[in-house]
């Protein structure tokens, strides 16, 4: 007969796991909200976006705006799923944060510092979700 590991079921450890879940969900929601605002600004007033040199992956800024809106809304929906503790939301959070990193990398020519900020935020989300151990 094996003795259960006291460290795994300790209330403090379970509280930390719950806190990490909550923090990852908040970070994903904020990243999605920022992406949504970024997309809205590109769609509504695409004169605001300064288009620099020609790049291979150049799209119209309105198309980029819609891409950011879709990714942002999906991220917020997945973050709400993470608040409920759904297992599908953990996998989806990593996938949507990865897609957001790719979209913001391709958005670098338009708003480099904003894109770098969102890429860093998405990396923190991926790290938080990937290292989170459920209780």
pTM of the model: 0.74
Of 99, 106, 105, residue with least CA distance to 75: 99
Per-residue confidence (pLDDT) for residue 70, from 0 to 100: 94
pLDDT at res. 108 = 83
Give CA 96 to chain center in angstroms. Answer: 6
Other residues' Cβ atoms within 10 Å of the Cβ of residue 25: 24
Does 95 have pLDDT greater than 50?
Answer: yes
Q: What is the pLDDT of residues 34-91, one digit of tens each?
A: 889 988 988 887 666 555 566 656 667 788 889 889 999 999 999 999 888 788 898 9
Spatial distance between the Cα atoms of 31 and 13, rounded to a whole number of angstroms: 27
């Amino acid at each position: 007969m094996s003795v259960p590991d006291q460290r795994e079921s300790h209330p403090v450890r379970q509280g930390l796991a719950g806190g990490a879940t909550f923090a990852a969900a908040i970070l994903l929601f904020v990243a999605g909200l920022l992406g949504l605002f970024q997309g809205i600004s590109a769609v509504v007033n695409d004169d605001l976006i300064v288009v620099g040199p020609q790049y291979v992956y150049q799209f119209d800024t309105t198309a980029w705006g819609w891409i950011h809106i879709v990714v942002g809304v999906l991220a917020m929906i997945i973050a709400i799923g993470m608040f409920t503790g759904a297992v599908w939301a953990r996998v989806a959070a990593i996938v949507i944060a990865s897609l957001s990193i790719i979209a913001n990398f391709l958005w670098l020519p338009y708003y480099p510092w904003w894109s770098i900020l969102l890429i860093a935020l998405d990396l923190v989300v991926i790290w938080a979700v990937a290292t989170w151990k459920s209780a």
